[in-house]
Structures are given as C-alpha cells and as structure tokens.
DNA sequence: TTTCCAATTCGGAATGACTACGATTTACTC
DNA sequence: GAGTAAATCGTAGTCATTCCGAATTGGAAA
C-alpha cells in the first residue's frame, strides 16, 4: 500500500482529506516500519508542531480499522506500519534495534485448524524478533 | 509446573517464602490460565486484602523472569500463567471469553530460520485466539 | 531462642500510553 | 460563498505499571 491508494481508500469511506492525515500517511509510507503514536508525533513535530495526541491516536486507529495500516503491540505500546499487500496473508520478522521488518511467508494455521477442530479460531499472531543483518554488522 | 516445584525453584534462587508468594502461586496453579495483575489482586482480595499492587507486579515479574510463569501481552495488559512443562517448547490457543488455553505443538521456526539465514533470531510469538468448545456451546 | 539484616511488603505518589470531551476550526457539499 | 458535519485542538481523565521511602519480616547466625 502506498500514500495515493491510502488516500483513495479514505475518500471512498467518506473520510476527509486533512493535512494531519496526509502527514501521518506520508511518514508511514516513507518509514516502512512499525512506529508508535509517540514516534509519529516526534517525527512530525517540526512540520506540524500543533498536531495533538488525540489526532494522532484517532487517525492511527481509524487507518488500522480500515486496513490501511497493520498494527501490533510491542513493549507495551501499539505500533503501526503501512499495510503491505505484495502478498496476501503474511507475518513479520521485526528488528528490535532499528524496527526494520521482513515479510515471512510461512504460517502454520492450516495445521492448527486441523489440530483444533472443535475450536472457533478468530485470529492469530505470529511474529519473530531479533537483529537484522545491518544492525548485526553495525553492532 | 506446580506449586511445590515453584517453591523449590524460589528457594534455590535465594528468594524468601512469603505468604504473598504462596498465595499468588497457589492461585495461578489452581486457575491454569492467563491472569492479569488486576485479576490476581481481585482473586486474592478476600484472603489478602492488604497485598499491595507493588507486591503483585514485582512477584509476577520475578516469577516470569525465572520461568516459573509464562507471560504474554493481550489487550494492553501483561498476563501470566503457570509455566506448562509437559512438552518443552510450545504455543497456546487462548479462548477470548474464559481465558482457557490449549497447548499447540506446531511451530514454524525451523522454516523461518532457514528463510532468514543472515538474521539473528532472539525470540518469537505465536498465539491463536478464539472460542473454546465450552464457550461455543454455551454462547 | 534471640538478634540482626537484607529482602520483602506496604501505601501512596509518579509515570506513560491512551482516551474522553467541550470548544473551535475546517473540508466538502450545495 | 454559506452551512454543516467532520476533524482538530487543548486539556483533563483513566488505567496499567513503576517507583520510593518507611515499616515489616523471613531466615541465617549468634
């Protein structure tokens, strides 16, 4: 997903095009990794010093609900990144130093479904944490 | 893991045996599912009305560090359960209604390691969320 | 058994992420 | 260009968690 497609999605769902939303989505497109609401605020402090917390949180949540963003919870914080749609379903490796992510194709949910036939499965989370090659050589 | 083994582990690591620690571990052994610090406080309110938050949080964290408990983060809260050691490495299905958990044997980490040879992998999380058979028929 | 001290707990205040809300501003429709 | 609902601002409130100084206590040593 990129900025333009995200803005189209907003329009089609009846959301207004505002400077705040543009700035948040442009940032997330550029960064291409998980950012917290605080990260977003700091990154936009120069260009949008008056953007309130409320605006950041509310928009990140809205974007996540309408699948423009992917969301996870890490270290006690909600984090968001532009939704990748190269493949359909996927999971991520997340570098704990720089936040870089790498898409993973493996997902064991078919096996799980077979193993739990009488359970209703609504959701699942699979994430791998570590150090990316760049941070490893830098460290 | 059960209460007695947990107390042995505490002793061997130089921790004192206190009424708070006994009560917390007895509760977690009995419940056999993920509880938050708040859940623990409420459950112990009758027998230990003066147990402070600090005591609950500090002990849950200590127990988690020394692998007496398993820990996860769910709905913005840290949750803890007695460590299962029937099998070695495993993951959980978690019922979002009653908190019941079911151990899963599948884990795709060998595939992931092969797919990311130049990455350092420190940790991973795989959890499945839904409704257990009891809650399904009850609903 | 008594003494002693570090570990533990208590009580409450501080932190930090997140949410709520009334007042003001703004994007979009007509 | 005017009107209106949506969006934002600023600030205060909530909730989980952590911190801290003072008081208590488990368990080793005398």
B70-94: pLDDT as tens digits? 999 998 999 999 998 776 899 999 9
Would the Cβ of A41 be found within 7 angstroms of any atom in strand D? no
Residues from chain B contacting residue A77 (CB–CB below 8 Å): none
Q: How far apart are CA B24 and CA A79, in angstroms?
A: 32
Please write the tens of the pLDDT for every residue from A117-130. Answer: 999 999 999 999 99
| Nucleotides of strand C under 7 angstroms from a protein beta carbon | 7-13, 17-22, 26-28
User: Is there contact between A59 and strand C, defined as CB under 7 Å from any strand atom?
Assistant: no
Q: Count other Cβ atoms within 10 Å, centred on residue B12.
A: 9
Neighbours of A71 (CB within 10 A): 16
The domain ranges of chain B are: 3-82, 91-138
Å between B22 CA and D28 C1'? 21
The topology (CATH level 3) of A3-82 is Arc Repressor Mutant, subunit A (1.10.10)
Q: Do B3-82 and B91-138 have matching folds?
A: no
Cβ pairs A/B, distance under 8 A: 103
CA dist A76 and B122 (Å) reads: 18
Burial B52-85 (b: 16+ CB within 10 A, else e): eeebbeebbeebbeeebbbbbebeeebbbbbbee
The 3-state DSSP class for residue A114 equals: helix
Picking from B78, B106, B124, the nearest residue to A112 by CB comes out as B106
Instruction: Report percent pLDDT > 90 for chain B.
Output: 91
A49-100 pLDDT per residue, tens: 999 999 999 999 999 999 999 999 998 999 999 998 776 899 999 999 888 9
With contact defined as beta carbons under 8 Å apart, do A96 and A131 qualify?
A: yes
Residue B89 CA to C21 C1' — how many Å? 48
Q: How far is A8 from chain B (nearest CA, A)?
A: 31
Residue whose tokens read 């620690």: B21
**CATH of region A91-138:** 3.30.1490.190
Within 93-122 of A, beta carbons closer than 8 Å to B belong to 93, 95-96, 102, 104-109, 111-112, 115-116, 118-122
Contact A59, A18 (CB under 8 A): no
Q: What is the pLDDT of residue A87?
A: 67
Q: Which of B76, B96, B122 sits opposite A130 (nearest CB)?
A: B122
**Contact criterion met (CB below 8 Å) for A59 and A15:** no
Q: Work out the burial of residue B92: count CB atoms within 10 Å of its CB; fewer than 13 is exposed, 13-18 middle, 19 or more buried.
A: buried
* pLDDT over 90, % of chain A: 91
Region B126-135 average pLDDT? 96
Chain A nearest C-alpha distance from B64 (Å): 15
Percent pLDDT > 70 in chain B is 99
CB count, 10 Å around CB of A7? 17
Bridge partners (DSSP) of residue A77 are A74
| B122 → chain A, closest CA residue | A130
């Amino acid at each position: 997903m990129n900025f333009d497609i995200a803005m189209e999605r907003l329009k089609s769902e009846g959301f207004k095009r505002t400077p705040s939303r543009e700035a948040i989505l442009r940032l997330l497109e550029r960064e291409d990794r998980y950012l917290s609401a605080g990260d977003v605020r700091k990154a936009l402090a120069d260009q949008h010093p008056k953007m309130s917390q409320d605006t950041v949180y509310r928009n990140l949540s809205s974007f996540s609900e309408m699948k423009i963003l992917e969301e996870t919870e890490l270290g006690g914080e909600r984090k968001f990144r532009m939704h990748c749609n190269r493949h359909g379903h996927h999971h991520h490796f997340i570098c704990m130093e720089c936040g870089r992510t790498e898409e993973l194709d493996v997902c064991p949910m078919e096996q799980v479904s077979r193993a739990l036939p009488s359970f209703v499965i609504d959701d699942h989370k699979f994430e791998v944490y570590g150090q990316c090659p760049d941070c490893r050589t830098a460290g």
